[in-house]
Amino acid sequence: QPSPLRKKQSLVVIFSLIPSSSLLHTTMKLSLALATLAVGGASAFSVNQNGGLRTSTQLNVFRQPIMAGNWKMNPTTESDALNLAIGFCALVDTLEDTCGLDESETCTEVVVFPPFPFISKVKDIVSEKGVTVGAQQVYYEDKGAFTGSVAASMVKSVGCEYVLCGHSERRTLFSDSDVNINAKVKKVLEFGMKPILCIGETQEEYDLGITEEVCAMQVSKDLAGVSKKDLENVVLAYEPVWAIGTGLVCDAEDANKVHKFIRTVLAKMYDEEAAQSIRIQYGGSVTPESVDGLMAMSDIDGCLVGGASLFSDKFARICNFKATEE
């Protein structure tokens, strides 16, 4: 029977696609590939010179689903935030096939990311249902004269277990560079928390057909210096920027292809075991209507949810997805 309360099983053949035949696309792909190699080393990205599919060892790996709600700069008051948390928790035990999320490791892991002022009180509410809280971002310095910034130690001290790193809104609106994102990822790991590293292409990059090159470059830069052991505590989130907050959703099969490609990059940076063990979420206008199709894919291990997480019933339904085993 369909049930969300299980670990996803993945049996896949990893492959990489040949470059585009377009001269413009080829030039841009080569430039991005060279940039990736310069940062992440030759093992981070390579092109199949024979022009065919590249296969590698098949692994049978179980990955626990993880759903995350990014509230962004919402809601506007503490009382609204607490009501949202209470409403969601009230639905966790009433929806069909949903269990208390701390009762079994086979349950779907759920994380919410409230704004900083609401974290502590939201945690007090959701922790009773086994839901964890995270911070939407941190600065990479431990302390000092950095007005408006928040340190990893600070969010750790109020109970955060996860931190978002590299979200597209931080990259574009606040000029968060890959160098800074890499420093934040390592700082989050240093303090015993888990980064959810967000990557993804813009609309322009998507139209140019360089999604894979962009993702390869971001992964290799943002995980530079992260050991295989530390990678066990990292979650990736593929978020095509053109689908975030637009109502557009990347087709489930297309998203799954990108997730599979990301694993080929990780296999070159680390090894096949690490690539198949890491959880990769999809993010970008995820809704109750689209979640089942997304979660039916072999390499999509959860969702990073924006707008829908601000509605307790919608987010509860997303966490209670009904995907079938492949």
Catalytic residues: 167, 239
The Cα 72–Cα 40 span in angstroms is 31
Give the residue from 221, 319, 206 showing the smallest Cα distance to 254: 206
The Cα 314–Cα 287 span in angstroms is 7
The Cα 142–Cα 134 span in angstroms is 18
With beta carbons less than 8 A apart as the criterion, state whether 153 and 124 touch.
Answer: no
One-letter identity of residue 114: P
With beta carbons less than 8 A apart as the criterion, state whether 300 and 259 touch.
Answer: yes
Which single residue is written with the structure tokens 């139209």?
207
With beta carbons less than 8 A apart as the criterion, state whether 281 and 236 touch.
Answer: yes
Helix (H) or strand (E) holding 318: helix 312-319
Collapsing DSSP to helix, strand or coil, 60 comes out as strand
Helical packing angle, 252-269 and 211-222, nearest 10°: 40
